[in-house]
Structure 1
Amino acid sequence: MRGIAKRSRIGLLTLACVMLIVGCSKDMTKEPSNGNHGVFYEIFVRSFQDSNGDGIGDLNGVTAKLDYLKDLGIKGIWLTPIMTSPSYHGYDVSNYYEINPQFGTIADFQALTQEAHKRGIEVIMDLVVNHSSSENPWFVESSKDKNSPYRNWYTWAEDQGRPATGQSAAGDKAWHMKNGNHYLGIFSESMPDLNFDNPDVRKEIIKVGQFWLQKGADGFRLDAAKHVYEDFTDSKKDPKTSQKNVAWWKEFRAGLQEVNKDAYLVGEIWDSIAVIAPYLDHALNSGFNFDLAKTLISSANTETAGNIAFTLERTYGLYEKSSGGNFIDAPFLSNHDQTRVMSALQGNVDHAKMAAALLLTMPGNPFLYYGEEIGMLGMKPDEYLREPMVWKAAGGAGQTTWEAPRYNKEGAPNVEAQLKDANSLLNHYKKLIQWRNEEPALQGGKISEYKTSNTHIAAYVRGEGKDSLLVVHNLSGQEQVLDLSEDNVNTGYTKVKLSTSKGNKLDGGKLVVPAYSSLIVKK
């Protein structure tokens, strides 16, 4: 979401707890297909590509780079907020039916979606509905006139006869003063919470979603999805709060399906899998897998394999139970709120390649943050997680300049140079995404644990039966040998089909895996 919002970051749910919920049965390990398979690419529009020379990235700039994204193998893009907003980040919307003029017009948005669709790329928009901007006319009128029809679109302590006390669920001050009254704003004074107990608010937000679908959007990334009814610290653990949130998103989804039955909804639910699961019950298609992101980065950084597949089998069992099979995972490594991957990995390119390989062989719709594919750096404060995309060493036409970079200065990795280098991180991403696009077993389907005693090897089976693939990653800087008969009787994987590096060998059941490399083995 945004840097000024403090979040409660819940750690990994213990595996024992998950097993208690879903048991250890392998009947519930399949992550079903819902037609939304492909790699998505998150674009912070202001930083991506400038089409008119004002230094600010815009929609026409995104359109100009669609061929780059197609060549990378991207099947969907997520645009961070592009609606009218007084802030640089856009997570406080002042008009839900307009494009921020710095980014272009509705016609530019429609042109972008049309050109994206021609290339087989979906477009989803960031939708922020927990709150509006304090400059939104709804709130301005609500704050001025107690008799306004918009008064009850927000929560006013005095109107409810309640004290303006209590800490917000986000850990900030919950109540703020305006015109002698206190309104609820759990993230910020400039972000007053919309009142979803008011049916008129719910109808309006559904109308907003339908409007943008009709303009060409294919779905939405839903900001702060668990906070719509989560206002205070003492309501965070109340099951009724989660139930109200889920009920709202079901209502929203039903409204969108009147326009587009296949609209894709992925929610930001920064919490454990047990909290995410109920949202997949015909409310959202996906929830970002924050726990998995930590595991993938840690595995690459320490060169030690975690129980990735074992944990995901149990995770998907819980999701299956909640959704009846109608879910798809949304793995990622970093986003606009988090330390960039290359910074988290202390600039180690080999580790970055392994993190990419892990991510892009996971089930679901992997999400890449712009610049991740070239190893851009970035750490908080938030502005420096969102620095201008580096297209060329010398800058030039199209380079955004709205912010002076702290981490990606002169000499930083750039697209132009990496496209020419066969061993670059960018070309590594291209190769892995190509694998994924060509191999159905790497897209949706199933992930199963493949046991090995070698802690430097991350191995798992994707897909089922004769069409399944064995994915093997050597996370270390030394060649490793994997005995394919060890703890895996009669698996039958006999041929290395794909490899990120030379030097692999499979002979007599012994698989030689070069340092920092990934292999796909077929039956």
Structure 2
Amino acid sequence: MSTRLRYALFGLVALLAITSPLQATSPEMSGDAPAASSGVWYEIFVRSWVDTNGDGIGDLNGVTAKLDYLQSLGVSGIWLMPINPSPSYHGYDVTDYRGINPEYGTLADFDRLLAEAHKRGIRIIMDLVINHSSSEHPWFKAARDPASPYHDWYQWSNQHTDLDAISATGSPAWHALGKQHYLGIFVDQMPDLNFDNPAVRKEMIDIGRFWLKRGVDGFRLDAAQHVYYDFESQRHDPKILAKNLAWWSEFRHGIDSVDPQAYVVGEVTRDTEAELAPWFKPLSGVFNFPLAVQLIESARSGQAGKLPALLDGTTQAYHAVTGKYGVDVPFLSNHDQERVMSQLHDNPQQMRIAAAMLLTLPGEPFIYYGEELGMRGNKPDPDLREPMRWYRDPQGTDQTHWKAFSAGDGPDITVQAQQDDPHSLLTRYRELIGWRRHIGALRDGALTTRDLGNPQLIAWELRDAHGAVLVVHNLSGSAQTIRLAAHDLQRYAGVRARTEDATTLAQGVLHLPSYGSAVLQPASASTK
């Protein structure tokens, strides 16, 4: 039995054991086929998750301890931020690519986490940070000697180098080390590796294979575009793009020998779907940064704005490259960005509609831990990565406390407070993720936006092999009424799922309460 099939069977058994919030709140869903994987990923900063040994720092055993929580949420995968040894709190400067940060546990702990996650049908991808290493890595320490074979594993200046050059991240690119200067486009503690060196490329492929053989289901590729995009002046250089894509194609080919189904998603911070599309050739997907910005803007403003054009453009651009639909990687925020609730100025209804839009888009959406509770967080970066809020009492058992809370969230912004509250944000996330498990078009349908003649509404059709559904969101604080025949949508005669009980569809007229969302289906639709 293949690894993918085995996990799918595990997931099916586990999901059937959970009462689906969608089934409980939407009688229209009765008669559905058994639930499938939601395709939703959940990003975890292990340091902030759960502390099982009393040192205040989250650990891998803590991730294992809360797998049932993640299963009840309905996610089908976890992205672990860096878990390799590192001198920093965040871990994005690695000193051992085949090891586990001792503050987080051991390889045996990680193996147990993988086994327990897979039993529940939950995949795990890990951060792979290979654009640069730590300046404390043994490779870099050896590389300081020009005679060392590791010297050429990094990038050094010569007589033609502009030592004042600005890096692609807007910081100084070159850093002094005695009489030498080395390239580090983020900070001096992160020297860039030299991927023109075949030994470096081989080592990174071997590292990928190492983790896949242990059971990891793929990787989130940190700074994927910066393997060759080093300087501000290279932003739109097609040769640099070609070199990046060639490397990641080589990496993909290299790991395919271990697991051709590995999920490999890249961090590529670009402003348009046209710039992101080429990356789908070597990778499974890339995070859709422009869409994240627009989803939050549309939720905050109560206006669809540029969202319809962006969604249609993304669908077309990605399909042109992959020949498939449902490949996008939408999200709202991550560990580098202000938390969604903070961007929405603490508006809980806007938070709910942002979540509803995200989780009714095709592809594999990512949720940042605590987002489902409405946790807040503003820069600097450590304040975006604060301890997960499990209990009303911030000193609760196994609560991490490696740093103090800064956002001012009260006891209601906790799992304990929201777990059994049918009106909580956490419950809403469970419901929305439940929709994805039952409605296949939400996961992999071809998306086409529909103009309902009202800027406070956003709607899209999703079509897969079983038929089509119409998703409608009311972005405003006022109820809206839509006569479907006026937009050639009269075939949608049933409400498949809804967030608000007051949603009605009768005689072709849809009534959608404020901040309400609905999935409509044709009168004779398949329920697969």
Cα offset, 1:323, TM superposition? 3.1
Residue equivalent to 1:11: none
CA distance in 2, matches of 1:323, 1:217: 24
Alignment of 1:257-336 (within 5 A): 257-271=256-270, 272-281=272-281, 283-325=282-324, 328-336=327-335
Alpha-carbon spacing, 1:67–1:40, altered in 2? closer, same or farther (3 Å): same
SS of residue in 1 equivalent to 2:97 = strand
The one-letter code matched in structure 1 to 2:321 is S
Shift of 1:515: 1.4
Mapped partners of 1:341, 1:378: distance in 2:
8
Superposition deviation, residue 464 in structure 1 = 4.4
Do the aligned residues in 2 keep the contact of 1:319 with 1:327 (CA within 8 Å)? Answer: no
Q: Distance in 1 between matches of 2:402 and 2:355?
A: 29
2:430 aligned residue: 430
Cα distance between partner residues in 2 of 1:400 and 1:223: 25
Give yes or no for contact 1:43–1:370 (8 Å, CA) kept in 2: yes
Q: What does residue 67 of structure 2 align with?
A: 66
| Mapped contact 1:36–1:365 kept (Cα < 8 A) | no
Structure 2: how far apart are the matches of 1:303 and 1:327? 26
2:378 — aligned with what? 379
Structure 1 length as normaliser, TM-score?
Answer: 0.90
Q: Residue type of the partner of 1:261?
A: P
The one-letter code of the counterpart of 1:277 is A
The letter of the residue matching 1:391 is W
| Counterpart for residue 94 of structure 2 | 93
Deviations 1:132-181 (A, max 9, x none): 000000000001x21111010001114x7645341111111111111321
Unaligned runs of 5+ residues in structure 1 are 1-34
- Three-state SS of the structure 2 residue aligned to 1:96 is coil
Q: Deviations along 1:325-383, whole A, 9 cap, x unmatched?
A: 38711000000000100001111111100000000000100000000000000000000
3-state SS of 2:171 partner = coil
The one-letter amino acid of 2:66's match is: K
Q: Report SS of the residue matched to 1:42.
A: strand
CA distance, structure 2, for counterparts of residue 465 and residue 484 of structure 1: 24
- Indicate the residue corresponding to 1:10 in structure 2: none
Provide the rounded CA distance (Å) in 1 between the counterparts of 2:183 and 2:301.
43
Secondary structure, aligned partner of 2:444:
coil
Distance 1:203 1:464, change over 3 A: closer
Question: Relative CO higher for 1 or 2, CA cutoff 8 Å, sep ≥ 6?
Answer: 1
What does the per-residue CA deviation read over 1:200-256, in whole Å, with 9 as the maximum and x for residues that have no partner? Answer: 000000011111111111000001111100111222221100100000000001111
TM norm structure 2: 0.89
* Residues 194 and 201, structure 1, Cα contact 8 Å, conserved in 2: yes
The whole-number CA distance in structure 2 between the counterparts of 1:307 and 1:508 is 31
Alpha-carbon shift at residue 296 of structure 1 (Å): 0.9
Query: Does residue 1:134 correspond to 2:145, yes or no?
Result: no
Deviations 1:45-76 (A, max 9, x none): 10011111110011100000000000000000
User: Deviation digits for residues 33-53 of structure 1, max 9, x if unmatched?
Assistant: xx9960000001100111111
Distance 1:178 1:309, change over 3 A: same
Structure 1 counterpart of 2:459, one-letter code: A
Instruction: List, as ranges, runs of 4+ consecutive aligned residues in structure 1 with deviation greater than 4 Å.
Output: none
Q: C-alpha separation between the residues in 2 aligned to 1:298 and 1:234?
A: 30
C-alpha deviation, 1:313, in angstroms: 2.4
Q: Report the count of equivalent residues.
A: 485
Distance in 1 between residues matched to 2:428 and 2:407, nearest whole Å: 22
Alpha-carbon distance in structure 2 between the residues aligned to 1:59 and 1:480: 47
- The Cα shift of 1:505 comes to 1.7
Distance in structure 2 (CA, Å) of the matches to 1:177 and 1:167:
15
The aligned amino acid for 1:402 is W
2:448 maps to what in 1? 448
Local SS of the residue matching 1:98: coil
Residues 466 and 509 of structure 1: CA distance in aligned 2, closer, same or farther (over 3 Å) = farther
- How far apart, in 1, do the equivalents of 2:122 and 2:311 lie? 27
Give a deviation string over 1:253-293, Cα, whole Å, max 9, x none: 11110110101111000002222111111x11101001111
CA deviations on 1:49-107 (whole Å, 9 max, x unpaired) are: 11111100111000000000000000000000000100000000011011000011111
Matched to 2:210, the amino acid is F
Q: Deviations over 1:15-48 (max 9, x none)?
A: xxxxxxxxxxxxxxxxxxxx99600000011001
Question: Shift in Å at residue 111 of structure 1?
Answer: 0.7
Partner residue in 2 for 1:173: 172
Query: Do 1:221 and 1:266's aligned partners in 2 also have CA atoms closer than 8 Å?
Result: yes
Contact 1:500-1:519 within 8 A present in 2 as well:
yes
* Greater mean deviation of Cα atoms: 302-311 or 382-391: 302-311
Query: What is the RMSD computed on CA atoms of the aligned residues?
Result: 1.6
Write out aligned runs for 1:170-249 (5 A).
Answer: 170-249=169-248
Deviation at 1:307, TM superposition (A): 4.8
Alignment of 1:342-381 (within 5 A): 342-381=341-380
What's the counterpart of residue 106 of structure 1?
A: 107
CA distance in 1, matches of 2:409, 2:295: 27
Contact 2:126 2:218 in 1 (8 A): yes
1:403 is matched with 403
> 1:312, 1:351 → 2: CA distance?
20
Alignment match, 2:29: none
Provide closer, same or farther for how the CA distance between residues 519 and 135 of structure 1 changes in structure 2, counting only shifts above 3 A.
same
Deviations 1:451-470 (A, max 9, x none): 21112111111124862111
The letter for the 1-side match of 2:416 is: E
Deviation of residue 302 (structure 1)? Answer: 1.1
